[in-house]
Amino acid sequence: MQSFTSEIDNPIVERDIIELEKKIRQYREGKLQEDKFKSLRLARGIYGQRQLGVQMVRIKLPFGRLTTKQLLHISDISDEYATGNLHLTTRQDIQLHFVSLDRTPELWAKLDREDITIREACGNTVRNVTASPEAGIDPNEPFDVTPYADATFRYFLRNPVCQEMGRKFKITFSSSDSDTAMTYIHDVGFIPKLQEVNGETVRGFKVVIGGGLGAQPMLAQPLYDFLPEDQAIPLIENIIRVFDRYGERTNRNKARFKYVLNKLGLEEVMRLVKEEAAALKVHSFEVDKTADFTPALPAPKPIPDFVIDNTEKYGSWLKTNVFAQKQEGYYGIYVKVPTGDVSTATARQLAPLVHDFAADEIRVTQNQGLLLKYVKQEALPYFFSQLDALGLAAPGFNSVADVTTCPGTDTCNLGISNSTTFAKVLEDVIISEYPELIFNTDIKIKISGCMNSCGQHGISNIGFHGSSLKSGKSVLPALQVLLGGGTVGNGEGRAAQKILKVPAKKATDVLRYVINDYKANKQDNERFNDYYDRQGKDYFYQMLKPLADISNLTADDFVDWGHQDAYAPAIGVGECAGVIIDLVATLLYESDEKLEWAAEALEDKRFADAIYYGYGSYISTAKALLLGKDVKCNTQIGIMQDFDTHFVATGEFTFEPDFKSTVTQLNQHEPDEEFARAYLEGALLFLQQATSYRKRQHELTAVAQ
């Protein structure tokens, strides 16, 4: 272990990696339950694949930013530990596939040498904090949201309030009202605003909360039209605390924050949010506005000789993939990346081009592309020629011909039917049959391999998600068709509506039917969603209904896109969030472990962290005892109430006035040293009493037998 952690400068990261290696060893030796181990590795960005024995490793890139040096470093690691491919995600991450579990600690250690992490990239945590890739250069932005996204990422990384939630939690910052970060599908979303106060211009955010996709998309609700900038991080922490307390923990399909908001209502959630305020470690968080996030610009360099073979393509590329930055004389370049996959060989050729003729910063975009910044106008033709040689100069970024997709059945356990090959086929249909649509950025096509919307089909103008159909005793691959979703702007969006399900091989005709009808029947300058609303859902159902007919199937209909053999549905257990751990011994062990972390935090004078670890210990201990009585536990607030009913009311445990009041003291006190010590002493005493109680129960059981 020492060999690959010796170069790690950060002792916190080193401890993380050593712990991961230790847990893998315990798991291999049968000393750690699979469910518990799965939860731990997910929180460290390690996700089980569809293929047995290998893992997907998700690299967490805050707001999608990486340098050319980091790109080359990740490429080296992919070659050594994975497949030589970098998969760009809709969450602005990079994923590596087919990684051996036993090599993940070493992989993480090598990533850390370039300040890259996988911590909390998966699991029931605060996921990657995303932002508009244009942030910092957007001509329409009131101010650069990059420092705020960065501060949010750093504040919640390893923060005890968000390590073991019921489900994942997603945060984003859009650069302007155009909302390119899609705030409306996030648990918390921020849009920058300026306001005049006493003659002074002050910064703040419009805030929306409770959005999410998945099988049941919900659009975020507006919370504040203007929240002062220093209140953004305290608000997020308050909301997370409420989510942690009241979020579902048994039925993972109902465990996102959007369901808490839907169940309790906005008014009650905000009442609970305000109750948590006293416990925060900070009540105001000033982001350092003097920090310069401007990337390093290239030194002046003569442009090498080059040739543009296709001037028409170059002209189209300029119109669709290039825009003038707010910095005069500089241009941003969007790079369209089919299915989000970049080979390491291509990445190695891209990096020096960016380093020499653009700013040393690349941002992954939400539609699985790349954004390059600070390119001089005179360098654009050369840049195009070099990107074209790499196969990265296709016009039509973010257009109808730029299809977003998840990996689907290529690697994901939940994939039902293929998405990646189908995405390429649809792009080919657009480019060959409707070439003029590369200039249309109104219509977005998005595909997911299942209903969970990792490919964002739930907000597509034209969308598909993987499914299946039965024909007699046989099963064939199918795609659910959705229409009418998308971004409205300023925190508002539309969820796509399900129309009908068609055999997968007929889905290309779905695209043709819809596009042809739109071209034939749209009114002057009518946008796609307006046309959809005018015609109505049933109009499209009737139009597409012939394609859903399975009475005239051919052998090809039973073969999925990208496959040669007949379709066989094989859906595994998803790992989009950590699993529930129910064994009593494990929960008591976790309680003890949390108190160890609390003691460390107390020693470091991180009183708020220490208190929250103590809270976690109280909850784990109570849950362990409740499970011993076969009491179902699905929320933390429910655990407290059930413990009072089944243990305090019976006299088996004594708390004044009750267990719930004792535990929830944490949101009634400032997190100072005196309260932290008293609270942790209570949590430790409870764990000791619980351990003794369980021992007595075992002894009584043994005597009875």
Q: Is the distance from CB of 561 to CB of 422 less than 8 angstroms?
A: yes
Strand-strand pairing, 94-99 and 404-405: unpaired
Q: Give the number of residues written for the chain.
A: 705
Whether residues 522 and 489 share a domain: the answer is yes
Whether residues 503 and 643 share a domain: the answer is no
Query: The domain spanning residue 100 has which CATH number?
Result: 3.90.480.20
The token duo for 402 is 């730029």
Whether residues 692 and 594 share a domain: the answer is yes
Range of the domain at 60: 2-112
Whether residues 554 and 408 share a domain: the answer is yes
Residue 306 resides in a domain: no
Whether residues 516 and 617 share a domain: the answer is no
| End-of-domain residue from the set 233, 264, 279 | 279
Strand-strand pairing, 492-494 and 486-489: antiparallel
Query: The domain spanning residue 649 has which CATH number?
Result: 1.20.120.330
Banded model confidence at residue 703, pLDDT cuts 50, 70, 90: low
Radius of gyration of the chain (CA): 26
Number of neighbouring beta carbons within 10 Å of residue 548:
17
Q: Which amino acid would we find at residue 367? A: N
Whether residues 209 and 143 share a domain: the answer is yes
Q: Which amino acid would we find at residue 486? A: G
Least confident piece of the model among 108-112, 212-216, 394-398, 519-523 = 212-216
Q: How far apart are CA 287 and CA 267, in angstroms?
A: 28
Q: Which amino acid would we find at residue 431? A: I
Q: Mark 668-696 as b/e (b = at least 16 C-beta within 10 Å).
A: eeebeeebbeebbebbbebbeebeeebee
The DSSP result for 434-496, as a single string, is -GGGGG--S--EEEESSTT-TT-GGG-SEEEEEEEEEETTEEEEEEEEEES-EEEETTEEEPP
Whether residues 229 and 89 share a domain: the answer is no
The token duo for 90 is 């809709």
41 vs 90 pLDDT, higher one: 90
- Output the pLDDT for position 52: 85
Q: How far apart are CA 42 and CA 122, in angstroms?
A: 5
Least confident piece of the model among 220-234, 348-362, 628-642 = 628-642
Q: How far apart are CA 209 and CA 222, in angstroms?
A: 6
Whether residues 458 and 550 share a domain: the answer is yes
Q: How far apart are CA 520 and CA 358, in angstroms?
A: 43
- Output the pLDDT for position 464: 96
Q: Is the distance from CB of 567 to CB of 475 less than 8 angstroms?
A: yes
Residue 98 resides in a domain: yes
Residue found by looking up tokens 């051996």 in the block: 100
Query: The domain spanning residue 335 has which CATH number?
Result: 3.30.70.3340
Residue 568 resides in a domain: no
Average pLDDT over every residue of 499-505: 96
Q: What phi, psi does 111 have (nearest 5°)? A: -60, -40
Whether residues 151 and 253 share a domain: the answer is yes
pTM exceeding the 0.75 threshold for the entire prediction: yes
For 671-700, the pLDDT digits (tens) are 999 999 999 999 999 999 999 998 888 777
The DSSP result for 424-449, as a single string, is HHHHHHHHHH-GGGGG--S--EEEES
Q: Is the distance from CB of 324 to CB of 331 less than 8 angstroms?
A: yes
Q: How far apart are CA 608 and CA 670, in angstroms?
A: 8
Residue 563 resides in a domain: no
Residue 451 resides in a domain: yes
Average pLDDT over every residue of 521-530: 96
Does the pLDDT of residue 556 top 60, yes or no? yes
Q: How far apart are CA 121 and CA 10, in angstroms?
A: 19
| End-of-domain residue from the set 279, 297, 327 | 279
- Please give the tally of structural domains in the chain: 5
The DSSP result for 69-94, as a single string, is HHHHHHHHHHHHHS-SEEEE-TTS-E
- Output the pLDDT for position 575: 53
> What strands, in cross-sheet order, belong to the sheet with 65-66?
65-66, 362-364, 370-376, 330-335, 322-324
- Output the pLDDT for position 581: 36
Residues 6+ apart with CB under 8 A from 450: 408, 412, 414, 415, 416, 465, 466, 571
CA dihedral 381, 386, 389, 391 (to 10 degrees): -90
Q: Which amino acid would we find at residue 120? A: E
Average pLDDT over every residue of 578-601: 77
Percent of the residues in the chain that have a pLDDT greater than 90, as a whole number: 80
Q: Is the distance from CB of 427 to CB of 438 less than 8 angstroms?
A: no
Residue 289 resides in a domain: no
Whether residues 105 and 212 share a domain: the answer is no
Whether residues 441 and 546 share a domain: the answer is yes
- Output the pLDDT for position 313: 97
260 vs 32 pLDDT, higher one: 260
Whether residues 160 and 100 share a domain: the answer is no
Residues 6+ apart with CB under 8 A from 250: 580, 632, 633, 634
| End-of-domain residue from the set 509, 540, 558 | 558
Least confident piece of the model among 31-35, 246-250, 300-304 = 31-35
- Output the pLDDT for position 6: 58
CB burial of residue 478 (10 Å; 0-12, 13-18, 19+):
buried
| Mean per-residue pLDDT of the chain | 93
Banded model confidence at residue 1, pLDDT cuts 50, 70, 90: very low
Average pLDDT over every residue of 327-349: 97
Q: How far apart are CA 626 and CA 635, in angstroms?
A: 13
For 431, how many CA atoms within 13 A lie in the half-sphere containing its CB? 16
Residue 601 resides in a domain: yes
Does the pLDDT of residue 584 top 90, yes or no? no
Banded model confidence at residue 221, pLDDT cuts 50, 70, 90: very high
Does the pLDDT of residue 702 top 80, yes or no? no
Residue 228 resides in a domain: yes
